[in-house]
Structure 1
Amino acid sequence: MDFRLSPDQRALQVAARTFAQAELPAIAAELERDNKPPSHALVHRFAEMGFLGINVPAELGGLGLGNIEALVVLEEFAKISSAVAFPVFESSVGPVRAIEHFAPPALRDRVVPLVCRGEMIIAVSMSEPEAGSALTDLKTKGTVVGDKLILNGTKRWCSGGGHSDAYLVYCRLSDEPGAKAIGAVLVEKDTPGLTFGPNESLMGFRGIPSADLYFDDCAVPLDNIVVPAGGFRKLMEAFDLERCGNATMALGQASGALDDIKAYVVDRKQFGKPIAEFQAVQLKLAEMQMKVDAARLLIWRAASNAEDGLPSVLESSIGKCFSNTIAREVTGDALQLMGAYGYSKDFPMERRLRDSWGWGIAGGAIDIQKTNIAGAMLGRRFDQRR
């Protein structure tokens, strides 16, 4: 068991870090200010640099590397901001991986290379007004009429809503109860019958606009069905990898905060000496470092042990739960150490704190991960309705 990155992995990490730190901070500040997503030109630039679809097979336009490599790059981008990292997230651990694994070959071969070339951004649309943690309560329904699937319903909290090029929509595809009816279909942005609500005004995640999706007799080709009714378990298997991505986005807020605060405590002087000389600061730095390292190792364990590229629910949930939790703690401690500078919008620390709270809600809240962990430990699923 070797906990060190290989020379190739290290070179990839350095390349991602060099690019991100040199070219993205000013863009991140602009996206935060305007609450707009990265431009298509920037996403194309990511593709040209080889930062999209890192763990997607080469025959589908990716680099053909592993999940660890994808997460290493994602963390370096997330250190700058969640917004600039989001296209990397979506291309490597997001809904495109469900399409890669489970979609009909014709749909897979058309869509996945577009994502890897930076020509298509795909968002996942799962939650509804009455179906968040209780996802199997979703009501959006697809009905087959001739050679079309007619969708009706409302989706909520879609990160990417309104500006992504296509959406992997979880919906009911039969009249069976609960999870038995649930599958997923790819709906492209310009499909008649699909409209969007206004951008949500959120505490964080600025630059990752979120909006409701409305389906009103939205007609989608049957060939766009990614997973048919009864495939909810497959969708959740793919989502185990997305949990690792969510965890890494949270980790990036914490590790970015740690990088910044290490430089700050050496430079900042009070009572005639750098504040790093005070034992209270030293103890806090040590605690932050331990949390960041532990989170990273838990995430990498899940990614490294993944069979067929998809991690287990136990290890991905542990990684997400722990990383979401410590990201809030580490960014909060870093902000406190910086005092008024940390609280100022002129510096990125307060943004990291706000985004850290978001990652612990998105993709399955922290306490939901704990029920996943307990269920996997005991080899059963708990019915929260009883």
Structure 2
Amino acid sequence: MDFRLTEDQIQLRETARNFARAELPGIAKHCEENAEPPPHDLIKRYAEMGFLGVNVPAEYGGLGLGNIEALLILEEFAKISSAVAFPIFESCVGPVRAIEHFGSDALKSRVVPAVCKGETVVAIAMSEPDAGSALTDLKTRAVQKGDKVVLNGMKRWCSGGGHADGYVVYCRMSDDPGARGIGAVYVEKDTQGVSFGPQENLMGFRGVPSSDIFFDDAEIPAENIVVPAGGFKKLMEAFDLERCGNATMALGQASGALEDVLGYVQERHQFGKPIVDFQAVQLRLAEMQIRIEAARLLIHRVACNAEHGLPSILDSSVAKCYANEIAREVTGSAVQLMGAYGYSREFGMERRMRDAWGWGIAGGAIDIQKINIASAMVGRRFNQRK
């Protein structure tokens, strides 16, 4: 067991860090102020730099590297902002990986390389008005008719909604109750019968589009079935990798906050000396560092253990839960250390705190992760309906 990064991994991280710090702060600020996603030409630049599909096999246009390499890059971009990191999140640990693992050869060949080239953005559509944490209550239905699948229903809280080019839609594909009837299909944005609600105005995640999606007799080719009915377990196994990405996005808010506040406390003077000279500030900084390092180790453990497959629900839930919680704590401490400067929208620290809260809701709320952890510990699922 070696916790050291290789020279290649260090160089990759430095390349990502240098690019992100030099090129992205101004774009991140524009995304935040205008609630707009990064421009398409930036995503193309990501592709040219090799930042998209880092852990996707080379045969599908990725770099063919490991999960650790992908998460190292993702954290450096997330330190700048969630908005500018989101395209990397979607390409490395998002729904495109479900297509890669479970989709037909035709679907994989059509979608995955396009994502790695920056030509296509793929989002996930899971939640519904009455099916969030209780995901197996979803009602969106797909019915196969010959070589077509007809989709009806709606999705809510879709990150990328209205902006992404395609969506992996969780839906009911048979009359079997609960999870047994659920599968997923890939739906392209311009499919007839697909429409979008207005963009959500969220507390954070500005620059990460979100909207309802409506399906009204939307017809898609049968080859766009990602997982048929009964494949809910497979879908959630793929989603366990997305939890690692969620945890890394949260970690990026925390580690970026610590880097910023570390510089601030050495420059800010009160009572005739830098505030870092006060013991209370030193203790707070140390606590922040401890939590960040622990979160990173948990995330990287999942990534390493999943290198030849998909991560376990226990490992991924532990990492996500802890990273989500410490991101809220660390960014809150950073705001407090910076005082009025931390609370001001002019300096960006409060944005980190708002985004940190969002990652603890997205992708399965913190308390749901704790239920997953307890279930894995005792070896059975708990029936929340009784």
Same fold at TM > 0.5? yes
SS of residue matched to 1:287: helix
Residue 30 of structure 2 aligns with an amino acid whose one-letter code is E
TM-score by length of 2: 0.99
Q: How does 1:295-374 map to 2 (within 5 A)?
A: 295-306=295-306, 308-374=308-374
Aligned residues: 386
Residue 149 of structure 2 aligns with an amino acid whose one-letter code is L
Counterpart of 1:111 in structure 2 is 111
Counterpart of 2:200 in structure 1 is 200
- Amino-acid identity (%): 72
Residue 347 of structure 2 aligns with an amino acid whose one-letter code is F
Aligned pair 1:284/2:284, yes or no? yes
Moved over 6 A (4+): none
User: How many Å apart are 1:306 and its aligned residue?
Assistant: 1.0
Residue 217 of structure 1 aligns with an amino acid whose one-letter code is D
CA deviations 1:17-39 (Å, max 9, x no partner) are 00000000000000001111111
SS of residue matched to 1:143: strand
Structure 1: 5+ residue runs without aligned partners? none
Mapped contact 1:67–1:309 kept (Cα < 8 A): no
CA deviations 1:212-231 (Å, max 9, x no partner) are 00001111111100100000
Residue 109 of structure 1 aligns with an amino acid whose one-letter code is S
Residue 122 of structure 2 aligns with an amino acid whose one-letter code is I
CA deviations 1:139-176 (Å, max 9, x no partner) are 00011223211111010000000010000000001111
Counterpart of 1:164 in structure 2 is 164
Distance 2:166 2:276 in 1: 49
SS of residue matched to 2:186: strand
CA deviations 1:160-205 (Å, max 9, x no partner) are 0001000000000111100011000000000000000000010000
CA deviations 1:244-297 (Å, max 9, x no partner) are 000000000000000001100000000000000000000000000000000000
Residue 236 of structure 2 aligns with an amino acid whose one-letter code is M
Mapped contact 1:334–1:342 kept (Cα < 8 A): yes
User: How many Å apart are 1:307 and its aligned residue?
Assistant: 5.3
Residue 253 of structure 2 aligns with an amino acid whose one-letter code is Q
Counterpart of 2:25 in structure 1 is 25
Aligned pair 1:212/2:212, yes or no? yes
Aligned pair 1:69/2:36, yes or no? no
Question: What is the CA RMSD across the aligned residues, in angstroms?
Answer: 0.6
SS of residue matched to 1:199: coil
Distance 1:79 1:39 in 2: 19
Distance 1:74 1:253 in 2: 11
Distance 1:64 1:13 in 2: 16
TM-score by length of 1: 0.99
Distance 2:347 2:150 in 1: 47
SS of residue matched to 2:351: helix
Q: How does 1:123-134 map to 2 (within 5 A)?
A: 123-134=123-134
Structure 2: 5+ residue runs without aligned partners? none
Mapped contact 1:44–1:119 kept (Cα < 8 A): yes
Mapped contact 1:133–1:364 kept (Cα < 8 A): yes
Counterpart of 2:270 in structure 1 is 270
